[in-house]
A = this chain, B = another copy of it.
Amino acid sequence: MSNIKKEIPYKIYLEESEMPKEWYNVRADMKNKPAPLLNPKTYQPMTEAELGQIFCEELVKQELDTTTPFIEIPEEIRNFYKMYRPSPLVRAYCLEEKLQTPAKIYYKFEGNNTSGSHKLNSAIAQAYYAKEQGLKGVTTETGAGQWGTALSMACAYLGLDCQVYMVKCSYEQKPFRREVMRTYGAAVTPSPSDTTEVGRKILREHPGTSGSLGCAISEAVERAVQQEGYRYVLGSVLNQVLLHQTVIGLETKTALEKYDIQPDIIIGCAGGGSNLGGLISPFVGEKLRGEKDYQIIAVEPASCPSLTRGKFAYDFCDTGMVTPLQKMYTLGNNFIPSANHAGGLRYHGMSSILSQLYHDGLMEARAVEQTSVFEAAEQFARIEGILPAPESAHAIRVALDEAIRCKETGEEKTIVFGLTGTGYFDMYAYEKFNNGQMTDYIPTEKDLEQGFAGIPRFPGNEF
């Protein structure tokens, strides 16, 4: 550490020349690699050829690569990144002052693009490889709409067709998200729909259903396989997605190093795990290589506590049980958070990279209740100006808790957290909170047992 301290600005921006030219593949430094995806029929690892029927070739390679530490970011993707990146690493001076804490608080803000979140980092990569392969288009599902928006933007830029299956209740409740995607030229279909076999089947069996992410995934996968020149893409959970998201962590690390800042605690929210994995990978790499140590905290909703209360087991990635099996912390593929949950991060499982790291003690996890999350969101918005996405506010909650703890102990810890996005399309949840109508729910042991019952049983999948 240099003796002459540079004055740290409110926002640290990198120069274009300092932006990452390679993604970092943390699996290369992991002694215990994440377990491979399994074919749900044979229980054998999915081959490149099998995965290639659903995903783009180059993305399959990235999915399966556990040894190459750095993977080049193609120039066209780097140029696209330059349109909305580098994202700022913000010193939360105002927050520190209001809290009267000796802690130093930083956040990496990924919300300054029209998709409103970090999702665009992987969307452009996945769309790029689809185009390179000469495909006509891609299919995907979207729940809240962040991923669908990001993919629409990437496809519009590259001139690729984009078909989005949007969970029907979101399609109806969030017409503005839908219109953003349509403005970017995407075809948005409410799911379940009559455009797929699985959709028609569900409509027959449950005529009044408002859809689910699991059903939308199944429709998107079917539609990709049905059409010549199409593949399916996914916005989180997969290794390839975490790989692309390491631009977040790499930029953060470079920005910190520019000002000789040593973080003590790194915090991120965790749903499927893409943002957290991307943020922490380069830091975890240092831990794995024995170079440095950090306290790393994954924050999840108490109503969907996959890391803190789930099982480490093979499970389906979707509730429709059409995807390969993935070893991960899971609440069971049919687990759905209680109806009063409005805070996002509703995914039943967790990326296998993060699951393995957590299992190996390289990071810890905390579950927080949504009213306390929205309290943190409101406080942060009023002091730091940015209205956060409910998902991001999970990380804010724990960052505030840690900063307040520092005030009590007098410790001058340096806290870095990921602010993944903005809440501009989540105002229905804020409205609930503003009206005092938000409640909490913690699943009972019985709720969890019901979820666990859905995890497939087969030899080697003991939990």
Contact = CB atoms under 8 A, between A and B. Distances in A.
Nearest to A429: B179
Given A9-B82, A434-B183, A427 B175 contact: yes
A174 to B, nearest CB: 10
Contact of A180 (B112, B183, B427): B427
A16 interface: yes
Contacts of A70: none
A420 interface: no
Interface in A412-449: 422, 424-425, 427-428, 430-431, 433-434
B381 A175 contact: no
A399 B243 CA distance: 38
A428 B182 CA distance: 12
B10 A184 contact: no
A294 interface: no
Interface in A1-44: 9-11, 13, 15-16
A7 to B, nearest CB: 9
Nearest to A183: B430
A113 B11 CA distance: 13
Contacts of A422: 114
B82 A157 contact: no
A13 B5 CA distance: 22
A383 B157 contact: yes
A197 interface: no
A391 to B, nearest CB: 16
B424 A153 contact: no
A385 B94 contact: no
Contact of A378 (B183, B384, B387, B433): B183
Contacts of A16: 9-10
Contact of A179 (B11, B79, B82, B431): B431
B385 A113 contact: yes
B114 A434 contact: no
A404 interface: no
B387 A182 contact: no
Contacts of A153: 382, 385
B182 A382 contact: no
A185 interface: yes
A156 interface: yes
Which 8 residue pairs are nearest across A and B when measured between Cβ atoms?
A176-B427, A156-B382, A10-B82, A179-B427, A114-B387, A179-B431, A9-B16, A424-B424
Interface of A: 9-11, 13, 15-16, 79-80, 82-84, 90, 93-94, 112-114, 116, 153, 156-157, 175-176, 179-180, 182-185, 378, 381-387, 422, 424-425, 427-428, 430-431, 433-434
18 contacts: A10-B82, A10-B83, A11-B82, A13-B13, A83-B94, A83-B385, A112-B112, A113-B385, A113-B386, A114-B422, A156-B381, A156-B382, A175-B427, A176-B428, A179-B427, A182-B430, A183-B378, A184-B382
